[in-house]
Amino acid sequence: MFALARLHRAMKVTVSRDGVTIGVWERADIKAAVASGELQPTDRYFAPGMPDWVPLSTLTQAFSSSRKIHPSSPLASWHRLATYAGVALILAAGFGAIIHPNYLTQALLAAAGFLLIAAARTSP
């Protein structure tokens, strides 16, 4: 799913202003082009598979809203909790290997910890 989202952001889009095509940009470069003034939020874009032209403001708002997580939001709390729990599982695996060397159990604990941390970092 992460690779699909990255592929979707890397798509090229055609941009028009006042009905005239002004160029083709990578989706990832659109926000910077709007910030620099090269493109306007009122310009419209089109990508393969879209039914119609859409204002760039919808694309730049989607980028900014998907990247920002308010520190007190439930999602930010979940990210912190999942990261702490993942670290705790990894530490428990390490200490468990010292106290009672059942390496399969420790490997599974460590893998679960790494997966939990990865899930916290890749979720929106």
pLDDT of 2: 40
What would you report as the CA-atom Rg of the chain, rounded to the nearest whole angstrom? 22
pLDDT over 90 percentage in the chain: 10
Task: Point out the least confidently predicted range of 27-36, 57-66, 93-102, 110-119.
Answer: 57-66
Reply yes or no on whether the pLDDT at 16 is more than 60: yes
Residue position matching structure tokens 């060397």: 101
Confidence of residue 5 (pLDDT cuts 50, 70, 90): very low
87 vs 59 pLDDT, higher one: 87
For residue 99, pLDDT over 80 is answered with yes
So where are the chain's domains? 2-67, 74-122
Q: Angle at which helices 74-99 and 103-122 pack, to 10 degrees?
A: 160
Does the pLDDT value for residue 97 go beyond 80?
A: yes
Query: In this predicted model, which residue has the larger pLDDT, 67 or 13?
Result: 13
pTM: 0.42
How much is the pLDDT for 9? 47
At 54, give phi and psi (nearest 5°).
-130, 145
